Structures are given as C-alpha cells and as structure tokens.
Amino acid sequence: MKTLESISMYDEVIKEGQTVMMFSADWCPDCRVIEPILPEIEAVFPEVTFLYADRDEFIDLCSRLDVFGIPSFIFYRDGQEVHRFVSKDRKTKEEIVAFIREAEAK
C-alpha cells in the first residue's frame, strides 16, 4: 500500500482508475488490528490502487472529505467518489472485501 505524501499526490492518484483510500493513524488500535490483512486484500484486487493516509498528517483532507472515524475507506473511480466505508468501528477482512466488491459493482 502506498503512503500519501501530499495533497497533490492524492489528487493525482485518484484521478484515473480505481483507488481505495484508507484513513488511519498510528495510535488507532482498530487500525493496527487490520493492518496485517491489508496485503491479502490488495492481492484480491490487483486492478485497484491502495493508498494509506495518516489522519493526523492529513487532518484538513479528512475534514474536507468528512472522514471523522478511523479506520475509514473511500473508493474512487476516475476521480469520483463511488462508495465509502466510514465509521469508528473495527472492520473485518470480510467487510472490507465486501465494501470493495460493492464499489466495483457501482
């Protein structure tokens, strides 16, 4: 998973193809629980670009996108938000995979 380094990187990455943005933070225990399964999820969706954003480093972006709970996921297709999985609750591998499948079907 690539790590977001700047707002311009965000703008560039989401503008073409399918992208899943994951918003997280180092201090988030629920985020740390799902971290080991993320490579498995990425392997299931090789056509999707996965991008990690640290909520604390990109608080303005989170505010702009109305992301308040972490971990949170937003699916983009060609620069447009298609679907989001945003809550403060712990996510399971099955829930994340289902979210991406739903987004691809839209």
26-81 pLDDT, tens digit each? 998 888 899 999 999 999 999 999 999 999 999 999 999 999 889 999 999 999 99
1-29 pLDDT, tens digit each? 999 999 999 999 999 999 999 999 999 88
State CA 102 to chain mean position distance. Answer: 14
CATH assignment of 2-105, among 3.40.50.300, 3.40.30.10, 3.30.950.10, 3.40.50.1580: 3.40.30.10
Residue 62 is a catalytic residue: no
Write down the pLDDT at residue 31: 87
pLDDT band at 103 (very low <50, low <70, confident <90, very high): very high
From the list 28, 51, 53, 70, the catalytic residue is 28
Query: pTM of this prediction?
Result: 0.93
- Find, among 64, 60, 48, the residue nearest to 104 by Cα: 48
Helix (H, G, I), strand (E, B) or coil at 92: coil
From the list 14, 20, 22, 31, the catalytic residue is 31
